[in-house]
Amino acid sequence: MKLLIVDDNPINQKFLSYSLRKDFEIVTALNGLEAINILNNQDFDLVLMDLSMPVMDGAEATRRIRQSLLFRNRHIPIIFVTTNDFEHERIRCMENGADDYLIKPINIEKLRTSINFHLKQKLDLTY
């Protein structure tokens, strides 16, 4: 399984990578634009997306991923992992195509539960 972590903070990237490395091959991106470029050239099973990043934020990146001409990108699960606890931002992310929205500091077991749920949903859609 291949996971893309999109976060401009290297500490957050390392924490998530370390916590999930047993189950996933992990690639990181520093912003939404970089994530889109990576997704256009590689296959991934799931994306963990931060909201507030330079160049392109996670909500805009998610909107563009969902509008992609590549089938795999339109249907890849995207889980937000962010410090932004404002309801209007959560709604914006969900309206742009997010599958889940989790607030940092993240509980790894809660994150794993969300990942497993959305990966199962993705598998159910492909059969």
pLDDT given for residue 69 in this prediction: 79
Quote the pLDDT of residue 125.
63
Find the CATH number of the domain harbouring 36. Answer: 3.40.50.2300
**pLDDT for position 121:** 85
**What pairs with residue 108 in β-bridges?**
none
Q: How many domains does the chain have?
A: 1
DSSP 104: S
For the chain, 127 residues long, the average pLDDT of each consecutive 10-residue run is 97 96 97 96 96 96 91 88 92 96 94 95 67
Is the distance from CB of 118 to CB of 100 less than 8 angstroms? yes
- pTM, two decimals, is 0.93
pLDDT value, residue 18:
96
Residue-number span of the structural domain to which 14 is assigned: 2-126
Residue indicated by tokens 């799931």: 46
